[in-house]
């Protein structure tokens, strides 16, 4: 049986090698990653959760056998997950501030709150991936209900450009939803 070197260890070169590589990566670097995340986050529980999520992402990607710089790779994935966590916390704080301003009888259930926060987080992630002009045109159309001509006047572009922006925005949303 052919063998390949993965992260300083020799593992079988077969379909299970990716799982074996993740196991080796986990054994060699999990504690380091948790400590690194704890220093960044200041919270041991969040650090443990993100370390776990980092390894799950690697396991799903099935490319662990190709990792040459494991700590750099782990840190890159963990940074993305931290960014997602911070974005979610920011959206959640903003939503809770809006809820706090509502009369008590009009407060949504905990389940509804969780669904709204998840939806708002997904929307925020979608919008962040768009170029600023495209995002602005999309928001003016979808949130403020402006026509393409009104958006064009506000942005100082032609209605045809607004149409192109909207096509790109919709394509962007569609591609993200398909993932």
Give CA–CA dist 62/122, Å, rounded.
25
Say if pTM beats, i.e. exceeds, 0.95. no
* Structure confidence at residue 166 (pLDDT): 94
Residue 167 pLDDT exceeds 50: yes
Q: Name the least confident of 15-19, 120-124, 145-149, 165-169.
A: 15-19
Q: Using CB atoms within 10 A of its CB, is residue 128 exposed (0-12), middle (13-18) or buried (19+)?
A: exposed
What is the architecture, at CATH level 2, of domain 129-179? Orthogonal Bundle (1.10)
| Segments making up each domain of the chain, as ranges | 3-108, 129-179
The string of pLDDT tens digits covering residues 125-149 is: 788 788 889 988 998 898 888 999 9
């Amino acid at each position: 049986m052919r063998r390949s070197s993965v992260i300083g260890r020799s593992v079988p070169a077969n379909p299970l090698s990716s799982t074996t590589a993740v196991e080796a990566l986990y054994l060699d670097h999990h504690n380091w990653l948790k400590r690194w995340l704890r220093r960044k986050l200041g919270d041991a529980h969040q650090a443990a959760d993100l370390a776990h999520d980092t390894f799950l992402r690697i396991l799903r990607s099935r490319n662990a056998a190709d990792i040459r710089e494991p700590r750099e790779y782990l840190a890159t994935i963990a940074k993305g997950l931290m960014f997602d966590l911070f974005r979610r916390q920011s959206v959640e704080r903003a939503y809770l501030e809006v809820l706090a301003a509502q009369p008590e009888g009009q407060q949504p259930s905990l389940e509804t709150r969780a669904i709204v926060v998840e939806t708002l987080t997904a929307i925020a992630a979608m919008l962040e991936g768009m170029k600023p002009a495209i995002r602005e045109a999309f928001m003016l159309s979808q949130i403020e209900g402006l026509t393409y001509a009104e958006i064009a006047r506000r942005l100082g572009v032609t209605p045809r450009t607004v149409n192109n922006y909207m096509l790109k925005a919709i394509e962007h949303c569609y591609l993200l939803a398909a993932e």
